[in-house]
Amino acid sequence: MYLYGTQYIMSGLGIPVGGLLAAYGILPVFYEMQVSTAYEYLERRFGKTTRIVTATLYTFQTILYMGVVLYAPALALNAVTGLSTWASILTLAAICMIYSSQIIDCELSSDGVLRRVHPLGRNRPLCLVS
């Protein structure tokens, strides 16, 4: 608490304030205009150019963020294992893509269901249903 207490307090205050602002300030406007995304709102309010600029800026920001997120653990992996930085980045990116893909989750969950139903059967089309 003495070392990181102020950050937790700001997070504890900011999250409820942001939730209330979204619930009572932003969502009624979105509901009234029948829009579901911020980009759609920006296009209706300010035009297509604004939507394209904000989407491009968000994409650029996400690419920069992913670079930092992959590079920092790759440096640590390089220091611990001696693996090259590029190999570490590619390995971490592959692990993240596999971990976050829905295919693995679907395969694991359907495999567990099918083992309970039929011990020897594996029906792949079940993944397409779920």
pTM for this entry? 0.60
Residues 6+ apart with CB under 8 A from 81: 88
pLDDT band at residue 8 using 50, 70 and 90 as cut-offs:
confident
- What's the alpha-carbon Rg for the chain, to the nearest Å? 22
How far apart CA 127 and CA 113 sit, in angstroms, is 11
pLDDT one-digit tens code per residue, 90-100: 998 998 888 77
- The tens digit of pLDDT for each residue in 43-100 reads 999 999 999 999 999 999 999 999 899 999 999 988 998 889 999 999 989 988 887 7
Residue 130: pLDDT band with limits 50, 70, 90: very low
Q: Which is more confident, 120 or 97?
A: 97
pLDDT of 110 reads 61
